[in-house]
Homo-oligomer: A and B are copies of this chain.
Amino acid sequence: MPKPLTFWFEFASTYSYLSAMRIEAACAKRGVALQWKPFLLGPVFAQNGWADSPFNLFPVKGANMWRDMQRQCARMDLPLTRPSQFPRNGLLAARVACAHADRAWIGAFVRGVYLANFGADRDISDPAVIASILTDIGQDDAAVLAAAQSEAAKLALRQQTETAIESGLFGAPTFAVGDEVFWGNDRLDDAIDWACNPINI
Task: Point out the residues of chain B lying under 8 angstroms from A181, CB to CB.
Answer: 64, 67
Task: Point out the residues of chain B lying under 8 angstroms from A64, CB to CB.
Answer: 168, 170, 181, 183
A182-B70 CB under 8 A given contacts A60-B170, A170-B60: no
Are A74 and B201 closer than 8 Å at their CB atoms? yes
Q: How many copies does the complex hold?
A: 2
Nearest neighbor of A67 in chain B, beta-carbon distance: B181
Please report the C-alpha to C-alpha distance between residue A20 and residue B93 in the assembled complex, in whole angstroms.
Answer: 42
Are B71 and A190 closer than 8 Å at their CB atoms? yes
Are A74 and B199 closer than 8 Å at their CB atoms? yes
Are B182 and A68 closer than 8 Å at their CB atoms? yes
- Cβ of A66 to closest chain B Cβ, rounded Å: 12
For window 62-89 of chain A, which residues contact chain B by CB distance below 8 Å? 63-64, 67-68, 70-71, 74-75
Task: Point out the residues of chain B lying under 8 angstroms from A190, CB to CB.
Answer: 71, 75
A68-B183 CB under 8 A given contacts A48-B58, A60-B170, A170-B60: yes
Mask: chain A, 103-137; 1 = CB below 8 Å from B; 0 = not: 00000000000000000000000000000000000
Q: Say yes or no: is A186 at the interface (Cβ < 8 Å to chain B).
A: yes
Are B74 and A170 closer than 8 Å at their CB atoms? no
For window 163-184 of chain A, which residues contact chain B by CB distance below 8 Å? 168-171, 180-184
Q: Say yes or no: is A158 at the interface (Cβ < 8 Å to chain B).
A: no
A168-B60 CB under 8 A given contacts A68-B187, A181-B67, A187-B68: yes
